[in-house]
Structure 1
C-alpha cells in the first residue's frame, strides 16, 4: 500500500522525518540530501510512503522531483522486496520523466542491482571524509581570524537580511556552477534549512571583499552541528568561493575558520562530503587531516525517446 504525503500534514510529514532519522541512526549517514528534503517540504517534490500503515509508520519513503529520486527503506524492513515494488511505482510518476538521478550510499550491491535493472548507470561519486576531532584547533580559537588574515572582512550572517541572502545565493551558484544539487539552491531553500533544528546563524561564516557594510561576498563556510545518541557531529556542510577570488587563499582561510568554529562545539565526530572528481578540494581537505571514510555513487537513467526534458536535471 502507498499514499502520497502532503508536507503540510503534520502527522504525515512527522512519519517521513521519523523514518529518515531512524535510517540515519542505523546507517551512520543521512539517507537523503537536505536539498531533497527541503524541496519536498516546500511541495516541489512528490513524497510517497509505503507499507501497511504508511501514514503513521511507513516501511519506505520515496521522494521524486527536480530530476532526482530518493528511496529509503526502514532498516528493519529491508530484504522483503519493498524497495523493488516502491521503485516500480515511483518510476510511473510524472516527476520521474526525463533524466533521473539516484544515490546509492556506501557499499550496497542490492540497491545498485535494483537501479541497474531499472535502466540506471553510475555517473558520479561522492566522498564522505572525516577528521579526528583531536586535530581541531585547541583552546578558544577565533573563527573570524583566518578570514581577516587572508585580507577579507567577516560580516555576521543574518538569515533575515534579504540582500545578504541574495548575495549568498549568487556566490553559491558561481562556486558550484557544475554541481547539480548545491549550485541550484535558492533563497527559499536556504530559508527552509534555516528552520531546521540544527541551524545556527553563528555556524554560517562569511567572507566579504571589503570592510564597508554591504561589501560583496567572496565566499562562505557553513557548519552543521547535530547532537546524536553517540555524541555531537560537526559537518562542514558547504564551503564555497566565488571563482573571481580563486588563488587568494580564501578557501583555506574559510576551512580554518570552519574548523575553529567546530572546535567550539567540542564534537565527537567531524565530517564533510565532497564530489569525487573535485581533486583540488580533496587535496585541501587531506592537507587539513581529513581522510576518506566512505564513497557513494550517483546513478543516472537517461531520458527515453518519449520523455520530455521538463523534469531533467
Structure 2
C-alpha cells in the first residue's frame, strides 16, 4: 500500500482554502452534522490565527485535512471516498509530529463520535477526555415555548454594534472563566463572527440591569438559513452562546435569556433549535432537557494517553 504524504503549511492560499471547504462540504453531505468546528473554519481564512494546516492529496485533490490550532483541540478530516486506505493514519502521524515540539499533549476532536474515528483513536493510543453533546428541540405550533419570565429590575434588549462589544466580551470572559476555548475570546474573535453573513444583532439578546444598564446575561442566537434583514426563516436556529455573570446567578436569568432567544428564532420561522453543551455540565443539561432539548449526537475530544497499538 502506498502511504499518502502530508504537507504542513503555516497558511493556506485562497485556492487551498476553497479545496478544504469543498472537502468539509462533501463530508457534511456524506456524514451529516458539522465535520469540523466553527473555529477551525474561521482559522482557514485567517493567516494570523497561528494555526498550522496539514494537507493530504490523492491524484492532486485534497483527500484529507488536519488543523493544529494555536490553542484548543486539533481537527482531522478525511474525504468520504478516501477512507480506509491509510489517509487517517498518515494525517494523525503528521499531526502528532507537528505537535511534538510544543511539549503539550495533543488533543483531537472527532465530530459525531463516529466508529471510524474511535477505531483510529484506539489504534493510536487516544482516550476520550471531553464530550460535547448536540441537542435539538422542535419549534413552531407543534412545540410551543413557555413564556419569558424576566425579573422586574431587568430588561432584555438587542445588542447594539459599536456600543456593546466590550461589555459582552467582559461578560463572556467572566461566565466562561474555566472554559478551555470560549472564555479566551478576544475582540478579534468577536469581530470575525460579526463579519460572518449570518450575524444578526437582533438575535444577540442582552439582559441588563434596568437602573444601571449593567450587562448581566446574554443569549447569542445563530441562524444561517435566511436573510436577517428580510426576516427569512426556515431551517434550524442555534443557541450559539448563553452567558450569565457569576454574580447574577440564581435569579433565573439563564432561563430568561434562553427563552427570549428561542422565541426570537421561533418568530423568524426556524423549524427547530439546536445547541452544544458540555456532557458533564449537569445544571445546563437539566435546563435544556427541561425545555425539550433531546440528545442528537456527541462530539468527542481525544487525548493521547498511550503508544500506538502494534498492528504488525
TM-score by length of 2: 0.83
Secondary structure of the corresponding residue to residue 153 of structure 1: strand
Structure 1 residue 100 corresponds to structure 2 residue 103: no
2:158 alignment counterpart: 156
**Aligned counterparts, 1:282-293, within 5 A:** 282-293=285-296
2:13 alignment counterpart: 9
Contiguous gaps of at least 5 residues in structure 1: 305-313
Contact 2:175/2:183 (<8 A) preserved: yes
TM-score by length of 1: 0.83
1:262: Cα distance to partner?
0.8
Alpha carbons of structure 1 residues 245 and 16: separation in structure 2 relative to 1, 3 Å: same
Q: Tell me the number of residue pairs that the alignment of Structure 1 and Structure 2 aligns.
A: 291
Contact 1:168/1:217 (<8 A) preserved: yes
Alpha carbons of structure 1 residues 11 and 32: separation in structure 2 relative to 1, 3 Å: same
| Larger RCO of the pair (alpha carbons < 8 Å, separation 6+) | 1
**Aligned counterparts, 1:38-57, within 5 A:** 38-40=42-44, 41=46, 42-52=48-58, 57=61
Which of 213, 217, 220 aligns to 1:219? It is 217
Alpha carbons of structure 1 residues 259 and 147: separation in structure 2 relative to 1, 3 Å: same
Which of 101, 121, 124 aligns to 1:115? It is 121
Single out whichever of 41-50 and 251-260 deviates more from structure 2.
41-50
1:266: Cα distance to partner?
1.5
1:246: Cα distance to partner?
0.5
Alpha carbons of structure 1 residues 263 and 136: separation in structure 2 relative to 1, 3 Å: farther
- Residues of 1 paired with 2:211 and 2:36: CA distance? 38
1:146 alignment counterpart: 148
Alpha carbons of structure 1 residues 48 and 7: separation in structure 2 relative to 1, 3 Å: same
Alpha carbons of structure 1 residues 23 and 159: separation in structure 2 relative to 1, 3 Å: farther
Structure 1 residue 27 corresponds to structure 2 residue 42: no
Structure 1 residue 245 corresponds to structure 2 residue 248: yes
